[in-house]
């Protein structure tokens, strides 16, 4: 999953009951953590909690953590130090404050969190957050609760269904987790150790949740998974379905106008999934398909199990099926043993693919992963120089792609009000933010616009047709 900035839980219109408790959820990391925070909020709502955007008024503060970047655990402990002081001040006032740590750092650190931060009441991993209400009841009774075992039961079956009013409050786009965990064991990655092995949700669960989201006003759904295109399940008439089959089925849901999915592994891009990009109007022409490096030697050391040439041939097949598709990727520079020649191979693959968007990082060793024990670590100053050069190229490509959109007539999904009166922010098929003066349209409408300008992070447009029927 590509990394995102720290987020707090989206505000929701909740009905606050007398004496209801309030929860503040701080979300770190990828889209799946955003989805997890939403589902934890749903689970807590059944226990009498309402969400708040004001940490100062919260009775429960949850840190939903990410372990993908360097020093992630240190940042969590630093935040817990500040929360400890808040808890002490609350106690002096005779008020309760409970603190919980969820997510991948919780899974990786477990009991160590309680030892280093005694103010924490609950530590709960990604596979057990359906047990959160019960864990909090035990903590309130005096236990220090650590729930990091991989759940035997299906957590999604035990999570409560969100009310339609809550779905509407969250907006017209939504994430939907269909797959979790990873069996690829890339040598740089901690995900198999914090999220476990690959598990796919059953078709019925996914379709039911998708229909509830659409009934609640959602127009666009992004399917999530650590390796989302590794999703496999038994089909309704027997036989195995893959992600392509699932997308065809989802596209038949009335009112669901747009579909996306992330994050994919090149080894799991099968023919049916590529055909879905060719056939489905609802499947947006944007694909995040990480390659990580352009050197076969480094790819082998990373245990990616594909070559640069195989990746490029795959891109050619996808573009042949969907010529207007925009590619996104992930890159790691300075992996142990990476030479100047290896890095030049990465530059060459970027030049050949020509990405519309990409995420790039310096390699940082994750404790417990094979990459951390490899010899020939690259000096930090060399990694920094390489990253600067790579990012300059990627930003140039991103700007060129945005500029190439000028003059095009496209459909955009209106998602939220803009900064200026009458301005609305929409989303292009290629996931770009689009500004438009759409005074006669509403959030959730899909309208036709002409792109008239581009900026560093968004496009500017003028409306052509007020409403497109989907």
- If you write DSSP's letter for every residue of 200-235 in order, what string do you get? E--HHHHHHHHHHHHHTT--EEEEE-TTGGG-EEE-
Q: Which residues contact 82 (CB under 8 A, 6 or more apart)?
A: none
Looking at residues 219-230, what average pLDDT do you find?
96
- The C-alpha atoms of residue 394 and residue 54 are separated, in whole angstroms, by 37
182 labelled binding-site residue: yes
Mean pLDDT (the chain, rounded):
91
Which has more pLDDT, 20 or 446? Answer: 446
- Answer whether 454's CB lies under 8 Å from 406's CB: yes
Looking at residues 443-453, what average pLDDT do you find?
95
- Answer whether 250's CB lies under 8 Å from 203's CB: no
Spatial CA neighbour of 331 closest among 252, 413, 389, 405? 389
**CA distances to 285, 411, 414, 428, 446 from 469, in Å:** 19, 11, 13, 16, 8
Looking at residues 413-432, what average pLDDT do you find?
92
pLDDT in tens, 147-201: 988 765 677 776 767 778 788 778 999 999 999 999 999 999 988 988 889 999 9
pLDDT at 11 over 80: no
Nearest 5°: phi and psi at 204? -60, -45
- The C-alpha atoms of residue 346 and residue 466 are separated, in whole angstroms, by 44
Q: What is the distance of C-alpha 226 from the center of its chain?
A: 9
The confidence score (pLDDT) of residue 438 equals: 80
- The C-alpha atoms of residue 460 and residue 437 are separated, in whole angstroms, by 9
- The C-alpha atoms of residue 37 and residue 31 are separated, in whole angstroms, by 10
**CA distances to 31, 197, 432, 450 from 402, in Å:** 24, 38, 8, 13
Looking at residues 57-83, what average pLDDT do you find?
87
Looking at residues 257-268, what average pLDDT do you find?
97
405 labelled binding-site residue: no
What is the number of residues in the chain? 470
104 labelled binding-site residue: yes
- Answer whether 67's CB lies under 8 Å from 102's CB: no
Q: Which letter, b or e, does each residue of 401-413 get, where b requires 16 or more Cβ atoms within 10 Å of its Cβ? A: bbeebeeeebbbb
Looking at residues 64-80, what average pLDDT do you find?
83
- Answer whether 33's CB lies under 8 Å from 76's CB: no
Domains and CATH numbers, the chain: 7-147 (3.40.50.12160), 171-281 (3.30.750.210), 285-404 (3.30.750.200), 409-465 (2.40.50.140)
């Amino acid at each position: 999953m590509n990394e995102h900035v720290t987020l707090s839980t989206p505000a929701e219109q909740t009905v606050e009951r007398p004496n209801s408790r309030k929860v503040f959820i701080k979300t770190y990391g990828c889209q799946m953590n955003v989805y997890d925070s939403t589902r934890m909020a749903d689970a807590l709502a059944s226990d009498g909690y309402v969400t708040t955007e004001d940490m100062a008024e919260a009775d429960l503060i949850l840190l939903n953590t990410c372990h993908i970047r360097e020093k992630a655990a240190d940042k969590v402990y630093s935040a817990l130090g500040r929360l400890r002081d808040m808890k002490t001040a609350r106690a002096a006032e005779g008020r309760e404050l409970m603190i919980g740590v969820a997510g991948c750092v919780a899974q990786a650190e477990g009991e160590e969190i309680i030892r280093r931060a005694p103010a924490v009441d609950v530590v709960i991993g990604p596979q057990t957050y359906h047990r959160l209400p019960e864990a909090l009841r035990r903590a309130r009774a005096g236990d220090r609760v650590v729930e990091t075992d991989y759940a035997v039961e299906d957590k999604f079956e035990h999570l409560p269904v969100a009310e339609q009013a809550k779905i509407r409050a969250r907006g017209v786009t939504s994430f939907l987790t269909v797959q979790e965990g990873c069996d690829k064991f890339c040598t740089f990655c901690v995900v198999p150790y914090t999220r476990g092995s690959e598990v796919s949700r059953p078709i019925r669960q996914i379709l039911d949740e998708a229909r509830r989201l659409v009934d609640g006003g959602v127009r666009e759904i992004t399917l999530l998974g650590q390796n989302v295109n590794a999703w496999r399940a038994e089909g309704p008439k027997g036989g195995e379905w893959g992600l392509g089959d699932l997308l065809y089925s989802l596209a038949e849901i009335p009112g669901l106008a747009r579909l996306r999915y992330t994050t994919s592994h090149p080894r799991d891009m099968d023919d049916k999934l590529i055909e879905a990009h060719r056939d489905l109007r609802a499947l947006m022409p944007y694909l995040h398909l990480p390659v990580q490096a352009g050197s076969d030697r480094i790819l082998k050391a990373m245990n990616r199990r594909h070559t640069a040439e195989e990746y490029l041939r795959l891109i050619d097949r996808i573009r042949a099926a969907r010529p207007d598709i925009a590619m996104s990727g992930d890159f790691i520079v300075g992996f142990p043993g990476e030479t100047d020649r290896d890095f030049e191979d990465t530059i060459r693959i970027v030049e050949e693919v020509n990405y519309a968007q990409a995420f790039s990082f310096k390699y940082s060793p994750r404790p417990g992963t094979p990459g951390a024990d490899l010899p020939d670590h690259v000096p930090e100053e060399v990694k920094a120089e390489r990253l600067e050069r790579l990012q300059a190229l990627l930003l140039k490509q991103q700007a060129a792609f945005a500029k190439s959109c000028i003059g095009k007539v496209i459909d955009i999904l209106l998602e939220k009000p803009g900064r200026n009166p009458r301005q609305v922010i929409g989303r292009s098929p290629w996931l770009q933010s689009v500004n438009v003066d759409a005074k006669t349209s509403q959030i959730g409408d899909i309208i036709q616009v002409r792109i008239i300008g581009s900026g560093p992070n968004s496009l500017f447009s003028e409306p052509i047709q007020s409403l497109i029927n989907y």
